[in-house]
Amino acid sequence: MGDLIGLVAVSAPFLMVLGIVWIGSQKKLEEKRIAATAEMSSEKAAQYASHTAELEQRVQVLERIVTDRGYDIATQIEALRDTREVNQASSGTPLNIAKAERV
């Protein structure tokens, strides 16, 4: 029993030093992992920001098209419908049948 106590007393300081070194190395590895993750996150954030800016530009163009020419487009569509109805009426095709065929 005395030999076991002596062995523990001699090996305990070495085990403590090994534990401290191991914990220190684990801490450094974790710091490196966190730094790499933060760098990747910032790159992804920059990509998302540029993609969002691109989408915002597209939406602005679409809004401009709708607001600037919205009335004109609606008028042109109605004019096309009017000419189509006139052409169908002159061809002898009833309008109700033409609408039913489209559906």
DSSP one-letter code for 92:
T
Task: Tell me how far the alpha carbon of residue 71 is from its chain's centroid.
Answer: 34
Residue 38 has pLDDT above 90, yes or no: no
**How far apart (Å, rounded) are the C-alpha atoms in residues 29 and 85?**
76
DSSP one-letter code for 69:
H
Q: What is the pLDDT of residue 40?
A: 84
Q: pLDDT by residue (tens digit) across 65-103?
A: 777 655 677 777 777 777 766 666 555 555 555 555 554
Region 28-52: mean pLDDT is 89
